[in-house]
Structure 1
């Protein structure tokens, strides 16, 4: 069965009586298919490897230009799917607005601010460490915004996950920031991903993945292309490395990983899904070590183990 059919079938809107974990009582994890139970692992791998793949591609294009090109290609891939599948469109102005806002927060703001922060001289370690605070913010806000309760064991897991992610980053690179404006952009990226997660949890509906992706990437494209034209010379060197990088980011990251992320947020607790991001810096470091030969000191391996333990506790169901 195609991915879009599986997601649409197994990720219904959050309504009706729920269990203590935030998952509908009629859709307990014990009844979920194997692929659904593996969705967090698949998402983590695709999302984390994407940082290394993006680093390869950015050697041949300016950051925002590269991002706009990525979004434009996603729309090219989705266009024939829209024509052939004719997925249902949102039926109300509010539903359209929710899709657009999530696209603005995650696709436009998060990625644009992250790339601009790196361009202005903030180290990758600083950006990763700042954005790794996202699960903590989500955990602090979900009790007030979406009614989730965070247990003591989950809080311990969040703290261990943050400590493990920080240990990996510090062990691999300097976290000294060299630009106040770049730091501001990194914190805007943190805020936008946090807001996007909470907004999707609060207002997200079970739209067809082709529909939601098309709308949100159109928003990202419209937002990043003018920024690229204003701030960059829009340099592009067409090499096989650039083409391969774009291919991975378009299919694996922009379509599959994002679809899984939004589906997991709608089905499960926002705080539990957000805890996965603690594993992104360690997993990204591991991918860079494997694909680019970047150094992995012993402390980084310890940080990966600590982050994994933290995520296991943070995502433990009560």
Structure 2
């Protein structure tokens, strides 16, 4: 049940962004969203953790990497990309982030080389993107290529940030790290907005714009953040990462219901191919998840555990923090299977 709710929260965010961009310039939109969300999460962190600020160089680096790559760069490219492509297409292209994370980890981290199966998974992911970008002869349009390219760049930024965060292993509570990352990312986005020529005067304050902003801030950012960590505690990162492949399906359905947008059959094929690439890379961990499934079903639900126990401080590295409303953070995505097939 929680898995489905989380997929809905994040899948609908792509459509909410598409709708909101009709009224708010992209960088201002993203910056204001994460500024407000960061303040709310910061208040939550004050209740459930014992530390509200980084204390050493490693922790500040963790915040910087998460804020720059996982909030600012990712969302800048995603929001600008959605000026040119529908939310359903953006969600599908962005779902390559876990595959790209494994690829960059294999290239950057000495002990995490990509196996032959990992290479196959990466190729499948890229083939899936090509199918999405060119679902028909109209897919050769410049705007579609530009938008899909920007969203793919967002997935790259997210993957690079995940890999760079892995060796830092900061001791910050996850809630504190999340709050600071949101605030740092929001500051970068708001500084970048006027450099792109965006102005507050260009914001068209309408009921639709307010609804989109409120939904993205409170539901897709704050509420989904709390759900994510409950699922992470309950099911583990590999299973939670599968939410990322339910998001495009949700976005496709919501786009059809609200906007009348119907994706091409090749887009569906592209999504399935990307999912197949992820399954190839994570095949052993997915098998272990299936083996543990009966045990996990017997565990008691802990939806408000941290709220009932505010003295418990969860610590982790930045690579374990979910810091966006689109693509799921898979901590194991930066640890591809290293043994050769």
Q: How does 1:37-48 map to 2 (within 5 A)?
A: 38=3, 44-48=7-11
SS of the aligned residue for 2:217 comes to helix
The one of 64, 67, 71 equivalent to 1:100 is 64
Whole-angstrom CA distance in 2 between matches of 1:317 and 1:43: 24
Aligned to 2:262: 295
The answer as to whether partners of 1:137 and 1:194 remain within 8 angstroms in 2 is yes
- RMSD over aligned CA atoms reads 4.0
TM superposition score normalised by structure 1: 0.68
SS of the aligned residue for 2:205 comes to coil
The one of 63, 82, 105 equivalent to 1:142 is 105
> Are residue 62 (structure 1) and residue 29 (structure 2) matched?
no
Aligned to 2:174: 209
Which digits, 9 at most, give the CA deviation of each residue in 1:94-129, with x for residues without a partner?
21221122111111112113334555x688799778
Aligned to 2:281: 314
How big is the shift at 1:204?
Answer: 4.2
Whole-angstrom CA distance in 2 between matches of 1:223 and 1:317: 39
How big is the shift at 1:55?
Answer: 0.9
Q: How does 1:178-189 map to 2 (within 5 A)?
A: 189=154
Aligned to 2:123: 159
How big is the shift at 1:61?
Answer: 1.3
Whole-angstrom CA distance in 2 between matches of 1:183 and 1:166: 10
Whole-angstrom CA distance in 2 between matches of 1:189 and 1:299: 22
How big is the shift at 1:307?
Answer: 3.6
How big is the shift at 1:147?
Answer: 2.6
Segment of structure 1 superposing worse, 297-306 or 87-96: 297-306
How big is the shift at 1:215?
Answer: 0.5
Q: Structure 2 vs 1, CA of residues 69 and 203 (structure 1 numbering), >3 Å: closer, same or farther? A: same
The answer as to whether partners of 1:132 and 1:278 remain within 8 angstroms in 2 is yes
Q: How does 1:210-289 map to 2 (within 5 A)?
A: 210-230=175-195, 231-234=197-200, 235-257=202-224, 260=228, 281=248, 283-289=250-256
SS of the aligned residue for 1:54 comes to helix
Q: How many residues align?
A: 277
Whole-angstrom CA distance in 2 between matches of 1:314 and 1:300: 21
Which digits, 9 at most, give the CA deviation of each residue in 1:143-171, with x for residues without a partner?
34163354444443443344334424432
How big is the shift at 1:78?
Answer: 2.8
The answer as to whether partners of 1:154 and 1:313 remain within 8 angstroms in 2 is yes
The one of 66, 74, 77 equivalent to 2:37 is 74
SS of the aligned residue for 2:142 comes to coil
Which digits, 9 at most, give the CA deviation of each residue in 1:242-281, with x for residues without a partner?
22222221133323556749x96xx757xx9888756655
Which digits, 9 at most, give the CA deviation of each residue in 1:284-314, with x for residues without a partner?
3343223322013333334444444333333
Whole-angstrom CA distance in 2 between matches of 1:157 and 1:183: 20
Segment of structure 1 superposing worse, 60-69 or 149-158: 149-158
Give unpaired runs (5+ residues) of structure 1: 1-33
The answer as to whether partners of 2:67 and 2:181 remain within 8 angstroms in 1 is yes
> Are residue 193 (structure 1) and residue 146 (structure 2) matched?
no
SS of the aligned residue for 1:194 comes to helix
TM superposition score normalised by structure 2: 0.64
Q: Structure 2 vs 1, CA of residues 124 and 107 (structure 1 numbering), >3 Å: closer, same or farther? A: same
